[in-house]
Amino acid sequence: MRIYMTMVLAAAMATAASAKTFTVTSPDSRVTATIDADAQRFDLSASADGALVLGPSPLSVILSDGTVIGPSAKVRATGHRSVDTMIPSPLYRSAEVRDNFNELTLRVARDWDVVVRAYNDGVAYRFVTRHKKPFEIADETASLRFPGEATVVTPYNNSSGKTLSAQYRTSFENTYSTVPLSEVDRNRLSFLPLVVSVPSGHKVLVSESALENYPGMFLLADSIEPYTLQADFAPVPKTRVQGGHNNLQMLTTEREDFIARVYGPRSFPWRMIVIAQDDATLAATDMTYLLGEPSRLDDTSWIKPGKVAWDWWNDWNLIGVPFKTGVNNDTYKAYIDFASANGIEYVILDEGWAVNLKADLMQVVPEIDLPMLVDYADSKGVGLILWAGYHAFDRDMENVCRHYSDMGIKGFKTDFMDHDDQLITDFNYRAAETAAKYNMIVDFHGTSKPAGLNRTWPNVVNFEGVFGLEQMKWADESTDMVTYDVMVPFIRQVAGPLDYTQGAMSNAAKGNYRPIYNDPMSQGTRCRQLALYMIFDSPLTMLCDTPSNYSREPESTAFIASTPTVWDETRVLDAKMGEYIVPARRSGDEWWIGGITDWTPRDMKVDLSFIPGIESATIEVMADGANAHRNGRDYSRTVTTGAKLGASPTVHLAPGGGFAMRITPAGR
């Protein structure tokens, strides 16, 4: 039996007017956050293993009336506490996670605090106000100064806009650029997370959590200070007009001169600095989840994770059927039949089921009989999810959720928000809360990273904000998706789950990829696609390909269908950002291990000695075939019974390859 102890040391606020330097150190004493405060500055720095990883970085909040919280603020009092407890984490990569930190609170004004935490794998800070009257925040300063030249791995904003204001509209989808810190483009915003490899050898990931009713942070290379990334925030929209994709978006035409309205006492988002000595630690951090606000749902038993038969990526491309495929009843009945036959929990009706250009989710195209499809799906043990454009959902949210919940729809995939200003982050929480009221799940697309929302509202089961497999429908041949895949677990996935939409059955070896919109393919091997179900955190996971293609690949389909989407335990066995990763995940008494590589072939030794209490097992391995370097669809399947787990099997990965392994205790 494990005994969990929570120790909270809440010191009384003590006068600290004369003090200028304040520190808080992680429970293992490896990480230290330091605040230097005097009449001219309010700076945060961080060190790890005795090395400076973040230099003195000015922090402040600037109010619209000119008040500055931070520099020139006298620290009036301090408070300290320590926490070490296990918290439940439903619908996450582990069933529970350890929350272990030391915390420092600085009273910097009569009604303002700054809270700083030190974890074993990083530091975080946030501003807190007790001000009771409404006010506006003109800006927030976070000038992140790094100790000398470093390497940055950054997702630049993919907007074509030349001004910063134009770049606030973005889908938060791009591959990563690896550049020296001194050469980061000063005219392009970067969205979070991003990673800086500092001179000490540590990797420093910058992100945020508890992002509620406040704009998300971008980073921009400072034009004056060397080795500095400056925070930037989208101002509150002043005027918006309907437009954009199929008239489903709201386009900002004018902005206010402030970034947020505040209506009373509140805590602001956590600014998060993950510090990792090794890449496996970076990929395994739970800081984003831990810093998210606790769940606002008393009961999560109704939230059903699972896999989804998806229509859009494969362009409704069925063959061998006696009807013309598309957005119609016969096509969706075929998807439902496929899902039912393979134990897949959901089918999604993506864009096209509602009348186009109306931004009205109560208008269904005549080719679709939704009540009939719901009844048919229910008879087959399958749930239906509906795609919803942002404006159509936002303007009629309560009515839409009530209507479709009563009909039997299980949730929504909302899309094309394409901003993370205060209005959109507020929408995300309102959408989650309203959907939960009607026992509905939500998958956010066309939006930024999760930033703790999935802890606060566990019915939000996935997020896009990733350069996912959909890009392979149109991306140029020069696009390197394989390398991107082995960077995502160390960067984007640190923010939370991602709807990458894996599962392609047409797999292109290096040099063979071509964009084909209605019959797309993936880069890399078949087994890479299988492994991604263990690589990526994704409580709601798509099967992106057509049922016709899956029916021709029964072994691959069966393996995907049997893979869990939430886990009791996750470990990262071996990893190097941009090259390879091998996580192991436990569901009940079974272990699932996946591995992927970049374009470099590898022989990976998989050490199974970490699995306790199992003397022998059945091991199923899906591995790249002997000719997978020429034909990405080539694979082998081996099943070994009575295997001894003290051994360390070696698996060969082709260029762009992968493997997937299932370990089942003997006698089960």
Q: What is the pLDDT of residue 613?
A: 81
Range 366-394 average pLDDT: 98
Give residue 314's region: left, alpha or beta (phi > 0; psi -120 to 50).
alpha
Range 367-374 average pLDDT: 98
Comparing 74 with 652, which gets the higher pLDDT? 652
The CA dihedral of 136, 138, 144, 149, to the nearest 10 degrees, is 160
Burial class (CB in 10 A: 0-12, 13-18, 19+), 221: buried
The span from the CA of 75 to the CA of 39, in Å, is: 10
Q: What is the pLDDT of residue 484?
A: 98
Which is nearest to 233 in space by CA: 249, 252, 218?
Answer: 218
The single-letter DSSP state of residue 494 is: G
Q: What is the pLDDT of residue 360?
A: 97
The span from the CA of 633 to the CA of 625, in Å, is: 8
Range 178-184 average pLDDT: 97
Burial class (CB in 10 A: 0-12, 13-18, 19+), 267: middle
**Angstrom distances, CA of residue 441 to CA of 290, 387, 388, 542, 620:** 22, 12, 13, 15, 33
User: What confidence category does residue 92 fall into, taking pLDDT thresholds of 50, 70 and 90?
Assistant: very high
Burial class (CB in 10 A: 0-12, 13-18, 19+), 360: middle
The span from the CA of 500 to the CA of 472, in Å, is: 11
- Are the beta carbons of 125 and 114 closer than 8 angstroms? yes
Q: Angle at Cα 211 formed by Cα 433 and Cα 539, nearest 5°?
A: 60
The span from the CA of 5 to the CA of 27, in Å, is: 14
List the single range of 16-25, 396-405, 432-441, 555-564 with lowest mean pLDDT. Answer: 16-25
- Are the beta carbons of 533 and 662 closer than 8 angstroms? no
Which is nearest to 477 in space by CA: 516, 529, 513?
Answer: 513
Q: Tokens standing for 482?
A: 């394989």
* Separate counts of helices (H) and strands (E) for the chain: 13, 40
Comparing 472 with 642, which gets the higher pLDDT? 472
Q: Angle at Cα 323 formed by Cα 317 and Cα 326, nearest 5°?
A: 40
Range 451-467 average pLDDT: 98
pLDDT in tens, 270-293: 999 999 999 999 999 999 999 999
Mean pLDDT of the chain: 95
The single-letter DSSP state of residue 28 is: T
Q: What is the pLDDT of residue 612?
A: 84
pLDDT in tens, 536-560: 999 999 999 999 999 999 999 999 9
Please report how many Cα atoms fall inside a 13 Å half-sphere around the Cα of residue 466, on the Cβ side: 30
Q: What is the pLDDT of residue 74?
A: 83
Q: What is the pLDDT of residue 85?
A: 98
Active site residues per annotation: 415, 470
The span from the CA of 80 to the CA of 459, in Å, is: 34
Residue 645 has pLDDT above 90, yes or no: no
pLDDT in tens, 405-447: 999 999 999 999 999 999 999 999 999 999 999 999 999 999 9
Q: What is the pLDDT of residue 19?
A: 53
Torsion sign, CA atoms 51, 53, 55, 61: negative
Which residue is listed with tokens 């749930």? 383
Name, in order, each residue with C-beta under 8 angstroms of 331's C-beta and a sequence gap of 6 or more. 311, 316, 318, 323, 325
Q: Angle at Cα 617 formed by Cα 612 and Cα 622, nearest 5°?
A: 110
Residue 211 has pLDDT above 60, yes or no: yes
- Grouping H, G, I as helix, E, B as strand and the rest as coil, residue 49 is coil
Please report how many Cα atoms fall inside a 13 Å half-sphere around the Cα of residue 378, on the Cβ side: 10
Residue 7 has pLDDT above 60, yes or no: no
- Are the beta carbons of 133 and 410 closer than 8 angstroms? no
The whole-angstrom distance between residue 203's C-alpha and the CA centroid of its chain comes to 19
Residue 212 has pLDDT above 60, yes or no: yes
Element (H, E) at 373: helix 370-379
Please report how many Cα atoms fall inside a 13 Å half-sphere around the Cα of residue 49, on the Cβ side: 10
Residue 73 has pLDDT above 80, yes or no: no
User: What confidence category does residue 1 fall into, taking pLDDT thresholds of 50, 70 and 90?
Assistant: very low
* The pairing of beta strand 383-389 with beta strand 346-349: parallel
Residue 319 has pLDDT above 80, yes or no: yes
SS3 content of the chain, % helix, strand, coil (to 5): 20, 35, 45
Residue 615 has pLDDT above 90, yes or no: no
Range 586-606 average pLDDT: 97
Name, in order, each residue with C-beta under 8 angstroms of 201's C-beta and a sequence gap of 6 or more. 51, 277
The CA dihedral of 325, 326, 332, 335, to the nearest 10 degrees, is 60
Which residue is listed with tokens 């001194």? 182
- Are the beta carbons of 32 and 25 closer than 8 angstroms? yes
Residue 646 has pLDDT above 80, yes or no: no
Q: What is the pLDDT of residue 614?
A: 82
